[in-house]
Chain A
Amino acid sequence: MRSIWELANPARFMRLSAAALPWCAGGAALALLVGTVWGFFLTPDDYRQGSTVKILFVHVPSALMAINIYAMMAVASVIWLVRRHHVSALAAKAAAPIGAAMTAIALATGAMWGQPMWGAPWVWDPRLTSFLILFLFYVGYIALWAAIEDPDAAADLTSVLCLVGTVFAVVSRYAVLFWNQGLHQGASLSLDAKENVDDAFYWPLLAMIAGFALFFLALLLLRTRTEIRRRRIRALRMARARAEEAREGALEGAADVA
């Protein structure tokens, strides 16, 4: 039986990801094009926000991805810590800069929306603050990967950091529910919240969310492939260095004898 663990084999991952990559990239381009044109040009103005509502089409998908990418990294980190699959650790490493970018986009578009609507680009609301903390965790995670030479040690430590951050990510996701006295509105999209968002905004928003998700998947596959190749090159370099050392050692030994 085929299982998901087959992807843990780097060679098999490379083959499957090469086949999946064009589909993800093509789907992302299509969904983003449809969502952008539909959302920005073909939707009516909101009854209170006017055309500022269009920021929603970038803000909601990027915020959603910021949280979900972190969740994906947490799952990949657990798999690395428990099962020691290198592809898993490298996928988490590859996802981090994408997640950091999504968080930055969510913070920036939130400020653009907040200035005209709330009257302030930034407030120390629990949800906004926890998103800033999430961004700092992404930055810290990337820095920790860069700071440690040995790849396995780096994967161990960054995985632990990621799991620590997961607690904050969960708090951030549910901050609005725990502390409902914030400035940020509740989640516009959840399984039962379709009535909050009119169909005119709902469908282009779904297209944008699908586009962001596929875009992330395409970038993730691409970046993980790069990381796997980088790891392979490193292994080859080290093998060559070891072989050279051994040969030099042998030559010196021969010289000593002579």
Chain B
Amino acid sequence: MAMTRKKRRIALIAAGMAALAAAATLVGVGMRDSIVFFFSPAEMIARAPGPDQRLRVGGLVEVGSVERGQGETVSFVVTDGAASLPVRFKGVLPDLFSEGQGVVAEGRLVNGVFVADEVLAKHDETYMPREVADALKKQGVYRGAEEGGGS
């Protein structure tokens, strides 16, 4: 039975879309490593990049690890639970930067220390009024954003 013209158009569109979707997926999967915006400390240590490679590391700022040095120098530890990486940074930190919160730092890994020239704060998808957060903290329900840094 011959296809009607309408059916043939539908088949052509479906085939074209399927081919495109397959191509886009292949590109996405193939370039996964370069599409990833940052690496976790564990991935960073496993990769062991040279000091000339610019990369981004992301995770949570370990509680109690932030140390302010001379001038604008700050050092802190980024952790993903499995591994942690010391970070050194000179510059102005964003508003949302705080201990226990997500952070993404861009720079180079030099002798096991990540020397960052840019630090970005990562925000999660939680939005609540200040009073609610305070009330939750008082009740001990809320313990700070836990998923801030991805995995």
Residues in B with CB closer than 8 Å to A182 are: 37, 150
Q: Bound complex: CA of A186 vs CA of B125, how far in Å?
A: 6
Q: CB-CB < 8 A to B90: which residues of A?
A: none
Q: Select the stretch in B46-54, B68-76, B92-100 that faces chain A.
A: B92-100
Q: CB within 8 Å of B: which residues of A? A: 43-50, 53, 56, 78, 81-83, 116-120, 123-126, 160, 163-164, 166-168, 170-171, 178-183, 185-188, 193, 196-198, 200-201
Q: How large, as a class, is the contact surface on chain B?
A: 35 or more
CB pair A200–B128 under 8 Å, yes or no, is yes
Which B residues touch A78, using CB under 8 A? 13
Q: Which residues of B contact A (CB under 8 A)?
A: 6, 9-10, 13, 16-17, 20-21, 24, 28, 32, 35-40, 58, 92-97, 104, 118-134, 150-151
- The answer for the CA separation of A198 and B127 in the assembled complex, in Å, is 6
| Cα separation A187 to B133 with both chains bound (whole Å) | 20
Most buried by A among B97, B120, B121, B127: B127
Given that A46-B130, A117-B95, A117-B123 are known contacts, is A124 also in contact with B21, CB under 8 Å in the complex?
no
C-alpha gap A187/B24 in the complex (Å): 22
Q: A124-B37, A167-B21 are in contact. Are A201 and B127 (CB under 8 A)?
A: yes
Query: What is the chain B residue whose CB lies nearest that of A44?
Result: B129
Q: Smallest Cβ distance from A22 to chain B, in angstroms?
A: 35
Question: Could you list 21 A-B pairs, sorted by A, with CB under 8 Å?
Answer: A43-B129, A44-B129, A45-B130, A48-B133, A81-B9, A81-B13, A116-B94, A117-B123, A118-B96, A119-B118, A120-B120, A123-B120, A167-B17, A183-B37, A183-B122, A185-B123, A188-B125, A196-B127, A198-B127, A200-B129, A201-B128
- The residue that B129 contacts in the complex, of A47, A82, A160, with Cβ under 8 A, is A47
Contact partners of A180 in chain B: CB under 8 A: 150-151
Contacts of B126 in A (CB 8 A): 196-197
Contact A200 B24 (CB under 8 A): no
Is there contact, CB below 8 Å, between B37 and A178? Answer: no
With the chains together, A118 CA to B103 CA distance in Å?
9
How far apart are B128's CB and chain A's nearest CB, in angstroms? 4
Chain A residue at smallest Cβ distance from B151: A180
Given A118-B123, A167-B24, are A179 and B132 also a contact pair (CB < 8 Å)? Answer: no
Q: Taking the nearest CB of chain B, how far is it from the CB of A88, in angstroms? A: 14
Q: Is B131 within 8 A of A196, CB to CB?
A: no
CB distance from A198 to the nearest CB of B (A): 4
Between A117, A179, A181, the greatest number of chain B beta carbons within 10 A of the residue's beta carbon is seen for A181
Bound CA–CA A116/B125 (angstroms): 16
| CB-based contact A163/B125 at 8 Å | no
Chain A residue at smallest Cβ distance from B22: A167
Complex formed: what's the CA distance from A181 to B150 in Å?
A: 6
Q: Closest A-chain residue to B133, C-beta based?
A: A47
Shortest CB–CB separation between residue B18 and chain A, in angstroms?
10
User: Do A119 and B125 touch (CB < 8 A)?
Assistant: no
Nearest residue, chain A, Cβ from B98: A48
A163→B16 contact, CB < 8 A: yes
Query: B37 to A126, Cβ gap below 8 A?
Result: yes
